[in-house]
């Protein structure tokens, strides 16, 4: 018989990015949800973690969140699903999460359970063969189609999984699933579709749960929410005692990304929320009806994300308090840039100045121009393929703020900058090189699901 309803807890909108709040998680766990699901990744963090193959969140934070979910789900005997492991879903991040689960199972002496996992990295040679065979790898958001030159510049590529590898893992009897890079929505939609619920409501469930408590008010991150799906509706309830899922908070969250290409390219179609009806079901719960699922015609499209290294990066900081220098800060930065160009020319590197505080306070999201800051903070970025040159560019740009020759300054009377004299070596600079889709005949073509038994 079909289940009449399914309840999924979402403890964190980006697992490991900051620790899950335990109080609301335990409140939710006590209600015995059917699945524990969380997204662990995002392209919002920029291309650097993907290019450098590192996590944006701390290891201990990620372990903390996995431990909460693993112990609760194993005690209850229900599945746990994590997607986009370790922020980027690269192979190394999946391996790291799988090892964490093994370590936690050993530490807590958990009975045996089945762990499924899949990788999402795509071999560049596979893409090269596609291009050489004349296939078009189409750019998203007005990007040009992929070229061999842009592929060569790319450090690492991941494919973004939809529901299919998760459903495959559940069919294999998985108790815990660690996924590579995945659609945020698919992590929650997959178990609902696997359990027989309609696609429209299932994908909407994923949309409303993927950021956890971002769909509640007052605003608060890393708090748990529970989504309940039936064959007619979706309900979402805040677990934190001080939060509510209201018509305004749920509708606002659902609609702010409603043109996102995730729907079309990861789900085999897209969600039409035009006719959704939102009702305040009870004090902490909103009920949603009316989403529609419109299948995508033609071959299956899978999104690809790729990162290319721009160069090594150094950062410096300058504080400016002299009123005359503040008034002429744009001229100061022009003079500082000229000192770099004198040696390195105008191309082949990046020198960026980020000025904080130039417009004073903010009021109703608009700068109040007549209120002048008494101090500016200038962050200097120097980027170049060669580490030593990047350091010199950043240092020259930083100290150029102090040495800028402004007119009307007599002697040192107008010098204005307090310089943090060292520049710091930062994570290298990367750029998005792939934001494209590739057509496949089999939705599992890029995602091989593996199963192991651990614990006991």
CATH of residue 366 = 3.30.70
171: DSSP letter: H
pLDDT of 269 reads 75
pTM, to two decimals: 0.91
pLDDT of 406 reads 77
Average pLDDT of the residues in 108-113 = 97
Cβ atoms of residues 214 and 254 within 8 Å: no
Cβ atoms of residues 381 and 352 within 8 Å: yes
Kindly tell me if the per-residue pLDDT of 263 is higher than 50: no
Residue 329 lies in a domain: yes
Confidence band, pLDDT 50/70/90 cuts, at residue 419? low
pLDDT of 99 reads 98
Q: Element (H or E) spanning 165, and its range?
A: helix 164-171
Is 170 in the same domain as 294? yes
Confidence band, pLDDT 50/70/90 cuts, at residue 418? low
SS3 state of residue 201: helix
Q: Whole-angstrom distance between the N-terminal and C-terminal Cα of the chain?
A: 32
Kindly tell me if the per-residue pLDDT of 414 is higher than 50: no
pLDDT of 237 reads 98
Residue, of 402 and 234, whose pLDDT is higher: 234
Kindly tell me if the per-residue pLDDT of 140 is higher than 50: yes
Is 374 in the same domain as 231? no
Cβ atoms of residues 7 and 228 within 8 Å: yes
Kindly tell me if the per-residue pLDDT of 133 is higher than 70: yes
Residue 143 lies in a domain: no
Confidence band, pLDDT 50/70/90 cuts, at residue 264? very low
Is 205 in the same domain as 235? yes
- Give the other-Cβ count within 10 Å of 367's Cβ: 12
Is 61 in the same domain as 202? yes
Kindly tell me if the per-residue pLDDT of 97 is higher than 50: yes
Residue 166 lies in a domain: yes
Kindly tell me if the per-residue pLDDT of 261 is higher than 60: no
Residue 100 lies in a domain: yes
Is 251 in the same domain as 352? no
Q: Are strands 113-118 and 176-178 parallel, antiparallel or unpaired?
A: parallel
Q: What is the radius of gyration, based on Cα positions, of the chain?
A: 25
pLDDT of 265 reads 40
Residue 44 lies in a domain: yes
Is 81 in the same domain as 104? yes
Kindly tell me if the per-residue pLDDT of 232 is higher than 70: yes
Phi and psi at residue 178, in whole multiples of 5°?
Answer: -115, 115
Residue 398 lies in a domain: yes
Q: How far from chain centre, in Å, is Cα 339?
A: 38
pLDDT of 420 reads 66
pLDDT of 417 reads 59
- Which of 98-102, 300-304, 400-404, 432-436 comes out lowest in average pLDDT? 400-404
The parent domain of residue 102 ranges over 6-120+160-299+441-454
Residue 147 lies in a domain: no
Dump pLDDT digits (tens) for 370-383.
Answer: 556 788 899 999 99
Is 316 in the same domain as 397? yes
Alpha-carbon distance values, 276 to 154, 221, 292, 358, 443 (Å)? 41, 25, 8, 43, 29
Q: How far from chain centre, in Å, is Cα 108?
A: 30
Is 225 in the same domain as 246? yes
pLDDT of 259 reads 46
Is 80 in the same domain as 221? yes
Residue, of 365 and 423, whose pLDDT is higher: 423
Calculated CA dihedral for residues 334, 338, 340, 344, nearest 10 degrees: 130
E-only strand ranges, 291-421 = 292-295, 300-320, 350-356, 362-363, 366-367, 376-384, 417-419
Kindly tell me if the per-residue pLDDT of 415 is higher than 70: no
Considering the chain, what percentage of its residues have pLDDT values greater than 70? 91
Dump pLDDT digits (tens) for 289-327.
Answer: 999 988 877 888 899 999 999 999 999 999 888 888 888
Residue 220 lies in a domain: yes
Cβ atoms of residues 162 and 267 within 8 Å: yes
Is 261 in the same domain as 385? no
Number of domains in the chain: 2
pLDDT of 328 reads 87
pLDDT of 31 reads 98
Average pLDDT of the residues in 93-114 = 97
214: DSSP letter: G
pLDDT of 227 reads 98
Residue, of 329 and 90, whose pLDDT is higher: 90
**Token digits of residue 182:** 């995945």
Kindly tell me if the per-residue pLDDT of 87 is higher than 70: yes
Is 35 in the same domain as 90? yes
Is 266 in the same domain as 342? no
pLDDT of 320 reads 87
């Amino acid at each position: 018989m079909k289940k009449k309803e399914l309840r999924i807890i979402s403890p964190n909108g980006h697992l490991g990015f900051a620790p899950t709040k335990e109080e609301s998680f335990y409140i939710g766990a006590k209600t015995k949800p059917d699945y524990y699901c969380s997204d662990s990744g995002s392209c919002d963090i920029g291309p650097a973690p993907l290019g450098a193959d590192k996590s944006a969140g701390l290891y201990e934070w990620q372990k903390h969140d996995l431990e909460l979910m693993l112990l609760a789900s194993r005690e209850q005997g229900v599945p746990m699903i994590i997607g986009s492991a370790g922020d980027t879903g690269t192979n190394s991040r999946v391996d790291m999460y799988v090892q964490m689960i093994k370590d936690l199972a050993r530490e807590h002496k958990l009975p045996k359970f089945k762990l499924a996992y899949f990788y999402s990295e795509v071999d560049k040679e596979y893409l090269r063969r596609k291009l050489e065979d004349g296939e078009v790898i189409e750019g998203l958001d007005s990007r040009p189609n992929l070229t061999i030159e842009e592929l060569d510049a790319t450090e690492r590529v991941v494919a973004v999984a939809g529901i299919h590898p998760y459903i495959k893992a559940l069919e294999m009897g998985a108790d815990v699933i660690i996924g590579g890079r995945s659609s945020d929505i698919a992590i929650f939609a997959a178990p609902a579709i696997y359990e027989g619920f309609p696609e429209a409501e299932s994908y909407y469930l994923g949309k409303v749960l993927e950021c956890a408590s971002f769909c509640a008010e007052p605003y608060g991150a890393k708090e748990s929410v529970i989504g309940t799906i039936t064959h007619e509706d979706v309900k979402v309830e805040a677990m934190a005692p001080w939060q509510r899922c209201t018509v305004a908070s749920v509708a606002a969250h659902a609609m702010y990304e409603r043109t996102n290409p995730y729907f079309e390219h990861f789900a085999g179609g897209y969600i039409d929320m035009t006719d959704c009806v939102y009702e305040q079901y009870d004090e902490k719960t909103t009920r949603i009806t009316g989403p529609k699922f419109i299948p995508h015609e033609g071959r299956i499209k899978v999104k690809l994300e790729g990162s290319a290294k721009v160069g090594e990066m150094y950062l410096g900081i300058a504080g400016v308090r002299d009123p005359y220098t503040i008034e002429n800060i744009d001229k100061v930065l022009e003079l500082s840039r000229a000192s770099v160009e004198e040696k390195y020319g105008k191309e082949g590197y990046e020198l960026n100045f980020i000025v904080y505080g130039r417009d004073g306070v903010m009021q109703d999201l608009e700068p109040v121009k007549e209120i002048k800051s008494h101090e500016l903070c200038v962050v200097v970025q120097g980027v170049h393929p060669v580490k030593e040159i990047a350091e010199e560019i950043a240092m020259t740009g930083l100290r150029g703020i102090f040495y800028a020759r402004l007119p009307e300054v007599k002697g040192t009377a107008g010098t204005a900058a307090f310089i943090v004299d060292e520049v710091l070596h930062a994570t290298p600079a990367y750029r998005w090189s792939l934001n494209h889709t590739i057509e496949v005949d089999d939705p599992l073509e890029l995602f091989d699901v593996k199963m192991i038994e651990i614990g006991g």
